[in-house]
Chain A
Amino acid sequence: MATGLNTFAARVILIGLVIHAVLLPLLFYGLLHIVKESHEERFVNDVRKYSRFVADAFEMEDAVSNERQAMRLLDSAVLGSGGVYAELLEGETWLRSGLSPPDPADVYAEDFAFGQHGDDIYFLSIPLDIPDRQLLLRMGFDEQPTIEQVKTARQRLTLVLLLYLFVSIIALVLLSTLITQPLRALQTASRNIARGDHSVKLRVDSQLAEIRELATDLESMRRELVGMNASLLEEISERKAADKLREVAENKLRQAQKMETVGVLAGGIAHEFNNILVPIFLYTEQALYDLPAESPLRVHLERVLKSANRAKSLVQQILTFSRQSGPQEFVPVDVKPVVEEALDLLRALLPATVQLHEDLTTVDCWALADRDQIHQLVVNLCSNAYQSLDETGGSIGVILDRCTVDTQFCRDHPNLRVGGYIRLSIHDTGHGIAHGDLDRIFEPFYTTRAVGKGTGLGLSVVHGLAVSHSGDITVESEPGKGTTFHVYLPEIGTGSSIRNPLRTGS
């Protein structure tokens, strides 16, 4: 912050004072010298001319021959000039005006300049040009009035210069204020801008063109700054959004790669396992066929066959997840009847403590799909919902509707595209899923249930089915309150307007 002598106003006033301190004494003494010289010169000129005039009077009127007339002339000379002394001198005799001091002998030194002998009286003597006479006219003039005039002039000059100094200081203060006030306004506005208040406009009403131009330039800079700041903020925002998208995409990519790896591995194992199951089925069924009906071994073989069937089902699920269960042909399917069929099957299996609510009022939910796989998807999700309920029961809700996916939603779910989708929502009032598990629930063989209670393949199979239908699945869960799964399937329009060709899934 500018303080003390560092301010512009202080500097202007200080410089002004220094200049005046130097120049005013010079001006004062210069002017005083001129005034003094002028007065003195006029005095000397006047007394010389007056003395000469008196001398001429004596020379022309022959007054010296008449003492009374000479005395009158001398008195007149003293009175008429404000003089102090006048006498006529001839050798040792003299005729002096009665108006002169009684004994002026000690001031008889003749002056040739003002104040020459320090007696404050200007004496001069003029020889009178009178034939056969050696007469000398002596006159003295008081220098004091001229000295007083010079003193008065000095006092007035001092007053005038002091007044000038005062006015100059006022003018300097006003000038510095005139300059610094708009500068301070600019400074305040600049500081506000520096603090982030870009709405402050740098505009000043100054009479000085330089300051107006400075304000205009700063205002232009502010506008550019505001523009740059806005574009910078927009760029940062876009970059943050892009980073977030990239992060989501990377996570999804990692997840997809992981699931693909697991799928390939599981598929390979399932194929091998399936090959192993073939002789088990063959030989077990052959043994059952060969054994008598009452053989106690039939029970054991039937258990073997039952376990083999369970193993076969598991293998089928693995193959479904890994999409290696053979070429899939998608055809236009109205999803609603498929869902209703699956719910009818489930309703018969659910205990009385579990309530199944369905909202399938939406008609014509056509999608390119495999009917069996959609059926399996519904059964898997509902089974999962039922298993999340505790022993006291709860409710399961199934809603089928249509929705439109926008750009923003697509950013979060890269498997989807902007457009119309059939949305199947399955909600339960179970124990929910912990937030830490939400990211992993679609991983194969990942389960939060006790060992032996689940294979960890149900949701991963559902995920695989949804993605293979060019759709996706999302989950919302709150521990203790329940979970909702949303399955999105691309809509292809009503039954009469279907134009899409058959599509073969990979």
Chain B
Amino acid sequence: MSPVRALLICCLGIMLYTQAAGAERQVVLVAAATSPLHDLDSLELRKIYLGFPVTRDGKIVRGLRNTEDEDLNRIFLQTIVAMSEKAYRRRLLSLPLRQGIPRPDKYNNPEHLLEALSRDPYSVTYMWKDAADHSADIKTLKVIWQQD
């Protein structure tokens, strides 16, 4: 390989890396690929994660929390439930006591999260768009956050 070609390859690699690093990151709302769910507006989504019942086809839609990384958790708190972490924690603590509603399950392992989604077609969760694109068992319902 000539030095010129090697230099060109390196420049191309650097360009591709820079593009990838500067690409927009998105958080998307997903459900199982077989789920009958098509869309949930922001208010419904907030209701689901705050413990208020949202039904589709007479079934309650369940929200699963993805806690695999801290950034995802922060975006969830700021964009979906619009609360501070402590306020949301207090809210979760009062759920079973005041309303008899189970708390949203938390998953910090993506595989377990996907298994839970596949088990219940009326369940939704959120994840990085990159991760959602790599799984054929789920479908993206909407973008809930994107980086500037």
Binding site for B on A (CB under 8 A): 41-42, 44-45, 48-49, 51-52, 55-56, 59, 108, 110, 112-113, 124-127, 129, 136
Q: Give the residues in chain B near A44, CB-CB below 8 Å.
A: 84
Q: Give the residues in chain B near A108, CB-CB below 8 Å.
A: 148
Report if B87 contacts A (CB, 8 A).
Answer: yes
A112-B84 in contact (CB<8A): no
Among A41, A56, A59, A126, point to the contact of B87 (Cβ < 8 A). Answer: A41
Kindly state the separation between the CA atoms of A42 and B46 in the bound complex, as whole angstroms: 19
Kindly state the separation between the CA atoms of A435 and B60 in the bound complex, as whole angstroms: 136
Closest to B145 in A: A127
- Write 27 A-B pairs (CB below 8 A) sorted by A numbering: A41-B84, A41-B85, A41-B86, A42-B84, A45-B83, A48-B77, A48-B82, A48-B84, A49-B82, A49-B83, A52-B82, A55-B42, A59-B42, A59-B43, A108-B148, A110-B148, A112-B74, A112-B78, A124-B78, A125-B148, A126-B79, A127-B79, A127-B143, A127-B145, A127-B146, A129-B41, A129-B42
Number of B residues near A (Cβ < 8 Å) is 23
Q: Give the residues in chain B near A112, CB-CB below 8 Å.
A: 71, 74-75, 77-78
Given A127-B143, A127-B144, A127-B145, A59:B41 Cβ within 8 A: yes
Q: Give the residues in chain B near A136, CB-CB below 8 Å.
A: 146
Closest to B87 in A: A45
Kindly state the separation between the CA atoms of A127 and B83 in the bound complex, as whole angstroms: 16
Closest 8 CB pairs of A and B: A52-B82, A45-B84, A112-B74, A129-B42, A48-B82, A44-B84, A45-B87, A41-B84
Among A41, A42, A48, point to the contact of B78 (Cβ < 8 A). Answer: A48
Kindly state the separation between the CA atoms of A57 and B128 in the bound complex, as whole angstroms: 27
Kindly state the separation between the CA atoms of A448 and B123 in the bound complex, as whole angstroms: 147
Kindly state the separation between the CA atoms of A59 and B82 in the bound complex, as whole angstroms: 15
Q: Give the residues in chain A near B75, CB-CB below 8 Å.
A: 112
Given contacts A41-B87, A45-B84, A56-B42, 6 further A-B contacts (CB under 8 A): A42-B84, A45-B86, A45-B87, A48-B82, A56-B43, A125-B148
Closest to A56 in B: B43
Q: Give the residues in chain A near B87, CB-CB below 8 Å.
A: 41, 45
Kindly state the separation between the CA atoms of A59 and B46 in the bound complex, as whole angstroms: 14
Q: Give the residues in chain A near B86, CB-CB below 8 Å.
A: 41, 45
Q: Give the residues in chain B near A51, CB-CB below 8 Å.
A: 82
Kindly state the separation between the CA atoms of A45 and B86 in the bound complex, as whole angstroms: 9
Q: Give the residues in chain B near A45, CB-CB below 8 Å.
A: 83-84, 86-87
Q: Give the residues in chain B near A55, CB-CB below 8 Å.
A: 42
Closest to A37 in B: B86
Contact with A along B64-108 (1 / 0, CB 8 A): 000000010011011100111111000000000000000000000
Closest to B80 in A: A52
Kindly state the separation between the CA atoms of A56 and B47 in the bound complex, as whole angstroms: 13
B6 nearest CB across to chain A (Å): 38
Kindly state the separation between the CA atoms of A472 and B119 in the bound complex, as whole angstroms: 139
Kindly state the separation between the CA atoms of A113 and B77 in the bound complex, as whole angstroms: 11
Closest to B148 in A: A108
Kindly state the separation between the CA atoms of A52 and B79 in the bound complex, as whole angstroms: 8
Kindly state the separation between the CA atoms of A51 and B147 in the bound complex, as whole angstroms: 17
Q: Give the residues in chain B near A126, CB-CB below 8 Å.
A: 79, 82
A275 nearest CB across to chain B (Å): 142
B28 nearest CB across to chain A (Å): 11
Kindly state the separation between the CA atoms of A51 and B79 in the bound complex, as whole angstroms: 9
Kindly state the separation between the CA atoms of A55 and B42 in the bound complex, as whole angstroms: 9
Kindly state the separation between the CA atoms of A59 and B41 in the bound complex, as whole angstroms: 10
B1 nearest CB across to chain A (Å): 42
Closest to A46 in B: B84
B4 nearest CB across to chain A (Å): 38
Kindly state the separation between the CA atoms of A9 and B143 in the bound complex, as whole angstroms: 72
Closest to B44 in A: A129
Given A41-B87, A45-B87, A52:B46 Cβ within 8 A: yes
Closest to B144 in A: A127
